[in-house]
Amino acid sequence: MSSPILDFSHLTPDERIELAEQLWDSLPVSEQQPTEPVLDELRRRRAALEADGDPGEPWDLVVKEIGERGA
pTM: 0.41
Whether 42 shows a pLDDT value over 90: the answer reads yes
pLDDT, tens only, 8-33? 999 999 999 999 999 989 988 877 78
Whole-number Å distance between alpha carbons of 61 and 71:
14
Q: In this predicted structure, what is the pLDDT of residue 71? A: 64
CB within 8 Å of 69: residues ≥ 6 apart: none
Q: What is the 3-state secondary structure (H, E, C) of the chain?
A: CCCCCCCCCCCCHHHHHHHHHHHHHCCCHHHHCCCHHHHHHHHHHHHHHHHHCCCCCCHHHHHHHHHHHCC
